[in-house]
Amino acid sequence: MILPWFIGIPFAAGLAAWLLGGWNARWARWLSLASLAVTLALGLVLWSEAPASISFVPGGPWLAELDLPWIPPLGIRFHLAADGLSLLLLLLTSVVAMVAVAASWTEIQDRVGFFHFNLLWTVAGIMGVFVALDLFLFYFFWELMLIPMYFLIAVWGHENRRYASIKFFLFTQVSGLLMLTAILGLVFVNHRSTGAFTFDYPELLGTPMAAGTAFWLMAGFFVAFAVKLPAVPVHTWLADAHTEAPTGGSVILAGLLLKTGAYGMMRFVVPLFPEAASRFAPVAMVLAVTAILYGALLAFAQTDAKRLVAYTSISHMGFVLLGIFAWNGLALQGAVVEIICHAMSTGALFVIVGVLQERLHTRDLRRMGGLWSTAPRLGGLALVFALASLGLPGFGNFVGEFLVLQGAYQVSIPAAVGAAAGLIGAVIYALWLIQLAFHGPNDQGWRPADLSRRETATMAAMMMVVLWLGLYPQPVLDAAGPALDRLREKTTLMAPPSPVRPEFVRRLSEAAPPWQGAEP
């Protein structure tokens, strides 16, 4: 019964923060922070009670599970479950959300209670996404996290917040409706073969269907998750949403919402439609390499610091997409590490840009310069996270990207080479950001205050995470490994452990085109 608390605590705390905010804004902030600390403690308790190496509990693959009837006539259940992969993402959600609250401490002064209500309800929806196994329940949480995120951008955003929030809403809603259509299609196909209606993920695994049908249903799921990832060419909402969102909103977007797209591909797209995913893998890997290179190029072209950091997310999440569709142990492990480290490093860069905007009232890199001498702690920590973002050895980002490249090399050498070229672009845009903001002449005479103790403590905690994963990632690999192996066992895409050409690549060349075999 521990899993409902991960969802219920942010729900209840969000309502309480809204009520308290009109009376005492400081209490709303502390209540939000305390509630997230409780969810983090619950995650650590679940970790401590798990078997060695987060292996499977006796009789099933889940560390914790709750399965109750919800709407029996339609086969809809309130089914929550967590394995090692879900547990890591629950812990990540709690940590990133605490950073978002801390980053908003002085920035948000208007309707503070309502701000934390929307932030905590977004977090509750994200946690629900990571543990929901009934596809109707999953869609419910998927939509739930988007509406308060819309308000975070539309109410507390910057100059063009209305445009950015509407664009974000349209992209996510249209893609969400496409996923709902695919869910219903899968349920009806399963009903035709079993005679029973069910939205339960374990029951839908292995549903027999024609190759064409599987491809189009898989495409519905893939597009919804690709929009959230985001993957090229459905990425255009991201930069506007990040640029106009408040700092806390940008941290949630980069650190958590993008990760729901990656999680959906791992948990649903490939296991539910292994044959279709096998045929689509080359296309997905091309999209991944395109995102890596294109995102790095766009980042380098920006003069707005926040847009620069936003476009780096497209490049980094391209590595995650590449690792997922390489679908071997190394690549999937690398994708999980990259998910966590991207949340920390890019989230920290958004906090730093928010600090600069709060003090300088501009994000224009052409007007900055020479800030290192006036704010050395800010400059030093910005350099640390820029080095993490470019994948310097010793940081977790390097571990994730290295594992992804090794796994991708076993599947497609050109894809691995193209992705590796993106690392060069990361070096350019990361050092370009540091050079423009913190070095060179201080023509504007900026003398901003350095980081406060609260801001320094927040940044230091995030730095410790990326250093820990860079120097000793084994606990995370042990936690995610059994869950990822279980997902691979549900498919026919498992690659052999040796560095030879994987079997599923041979099957790709022999498979029929995806449009053949569609049922009338």
Task: Return d(Cα 393, Cα 340) in angstroms, integer.
Answer: 16
For the chain, the first-to-last Cα distance in angstroms comes to 44
Phi-psi domain of 109 (left: phi exceeds 0; alpha: psi -120 through 50; beta: other): alpha
Is the pLDDT confidence value at 517 over 70?
Answer: no
Mean pLDDT, residues 248-269 taken together: 94
Both tokens assigned to 235: 């990425």
Q: Mean of the pLDDT values across residues 399-426?
A: 93
**Average pLDDT estimate for 453-457:** 91
Residue 124 forms part of a structural domain: no
Residue 81 pairs in a beta bridge with 65
Indicate the helix (H) or strand (E) that contains 77: strand 76-82
């940590």: which residue's tokens?
95
Residue 505 has pLDDT above 50, yes or no: no
Residue 230, preceding bond cis, omega within 30 degrees? yes
| Whether pLDDT at 129 is above 80 | yes
Check whether 266 has a pLDDT greater than 70.
yes
Helix H, strand E, coil C: the string for 474-495 is: HHHHHHHHHHHHHHHHCCCCCC
Q: How many domains does the chain have?
A: 1
* DSSP single-letter state for residue 82: E
**Is a pLDDT exceeding 80 seen at residue 210?**
yes
Residue ranges making up the domain that contains 306: 284-511
The span from the CA of 484 to the CA of 406, in Å, is 17
pLDDT score for 486: 87
For 65, the 3-state DSSP assignment is strand
Distance between CA 290 and CA 299 in Å, rounded?
14
Residue 448 lies in a domain: yes
Burial-class residue 380 by CB neighbours within 10 Å (0-12, 13-18, 19+): middle
CA 33, distance to chain mean position in Å, is 21
Residue 24: the pLDDT is 86
Q: Which residues contact 435 (CB under 8 A, 6 or more apart)?
A: none
pLDDT-wise least confident of 32-41, 136-145, 459-468, 490-499: 490-499
Nearest to residue 512, comparing CAs of 145, 214, 115? 214
pLDDT at 200: 93
DSSP letters for 165-207: HHHHHHHHHHHHHHHHHHHHHHHHHHHHHHS----BHHHHTT-
**175-196 pLDDT per residue, tens:** 999 999 999 999 999 999 888 8
At residue 158, the pLDDT reads 87
Residue 299 lies in a domain: yes
pLDDT at 312: 93
Q: Give me the pLDDT at residue 279, please.
A: 92
Reply yes or no: is the peptide bond before residue 233 cis, omega within 30 of 0.
Answer: yes
491 pLDDT tier (thresholds 50, 70, 90): confident
Q: Please state whether beta strands 64-71 and 76-82 pair in parallel, antiparallel, or not at all (unpaired).
A: antiparallel
Please report, for residues 177, 229, 430, the alpha-carbon distance to residue 234 in angstroms, rounded to integers and kept in the order given. 15, 9, 24
- 459: three-class secondary structure by DSSP: helix
Q: What is the DSSP letter of 501?
A: P
The answer to whether residue 279 sits within a structural domain is no
Rg (CA), the chain: 22
Report pLDDT for 520.
32
**Which residues face 82 on adjacent strands?**
64
pLDDT of amino acid 54: 47
- Would the pTM of this model clear 0.85, i.e. be above it? yes
| % the chain with pLDDT above 90 | 70
In a domain, 371, yes or no: yes
Spatial neighbors of 368 by CB under 8 A, at least 6 apart, are: 305, 356, 360, 362, 436, 437, 438, 444, 446
**Weakest-pLDDT range from 97-101, 361-365, 395-399:** 361-365
In a domain, 385, yes or no: yes
- The answer to whether residue 391 scores a pLDDT higher than 60 is yes
Asked if residue 121 belongs to a domain, the reply is: no
Give the pLDDT of residue 60: 52
Q: What does the pLDDT average to over 2-24?
A: 92
Q: What is the DSSP letter of 257?
A: I
Span 406-415, average pLDDT: 93
Give phi and psi for 304, each to the nearest 5.
-85, 120
59 pLDDT tier (thresholds 50, 70, 90):
very low
Tell which residue, 360, 383, 352, has the closest CA to residue 444.
360
| 467 confidence band (pLDDT: 50, 70, 90) | very high
Tell me: pLDDT of 516 over 70. no
Specify whether the CB–CB gap between 431 and 383 falls below 8 A: no
Average pLDDT, the chain: 88
Residues in the chain, overall count: 520
Helix (H) or strand (E) segment spanning residue 286 = helix 274-300
Average pLDDT over residues 330-339: 95
- Confirm whether 110 is domain-assigned: no
CB atoms within 10 A of CB 328: 23
- Give me the pLDDT at residue 228, please: 92
Please indicate whether residue 263 or residue 508 has the higher confidence score (pLDDT).
263
Higher-scoring residue by pLDDT: 518, 419 = 419
Cis before 271 (ω within 30): no
Q: Which residues contact 135 (CB under 8 A, 6 or more apart)?
A: 183, 186, 187, 199, 200, 201, 204, 268
* Mean of pLDDT values over 386-405: 94
